[in-house]
Amino acid sequence: GGVGKTTLAVAVYNSIADHFEASCFLENVRETSNKKGLQHLQSILLSKTVGEKKIKLTNWREGIHIIKRYLKEKRVLLILDDVWEQKQLQAIIGSPDWFGGGSRVIITTRDEHLLALHNVKITYKVRELNEKHALQLLSQKAFEKEKEVDPSYHDILNRAVAYASGLPLAL
């Protein structure tokens, strides 16, 4: 946590969403599915990609059939942020044939095993920042400049970077 998975996913979404017929960023999948259910996430997906505002699903199994029916011909960009359980993947993205050709699904999760269970072919592990980039980020945020910080701050900056272990959120 805190390495920047969501931030990176948002940046990717913002830069490529216009190249798809439909797009949807489902944030906090774990929290939302726990509080409101999988059918709520499916309803959000359908309203953002199909344009139907009042889609009421009685359960997540019904949502599977509707997603497949409406999106199988569309080129979709879908980002699922903070996926925690395989059931969430099964209910929202199922299999590649749920979406039209050229569709892309990006999943952020802390559980690599979950991706393997869902037969995800390409993965990218977001790594912590190295010392140089961590110092650069901290200086930029703390002093609103990337270079030439007063030398009297170097010791405290270096200790903060070491303590944060390269995690952008901590920095």
Report d(CA 100, CA 52) in Å as an integer.
Answer: 19
Report d(CA 160, CA 170) in Å as an integer.
Answer: 9
* Closest to 56 (Cα-Cα) out of 69, 68, 44, 73: 44
Query: Are 97 and 71 in contact, with CB atoms under 8 Å apart?
Result: no
Is residue 58 within a helix (H) or strand (E), and if so which, with residue range? none
162 exposed, middle or buried (CB, 10 Å; 0-12, 13-18, 19+)?
exposed
Domain ranges of the chain: 5-118, 131-170
The whole model's pTM is what? 0.80
Task: Give 103's pLDDT tier (boundaries 50, 70, 90).
Answer: very high
Name the range with the highest mean pLDDT among 54-58, 100-104, 113-117, 132-136.
100-104
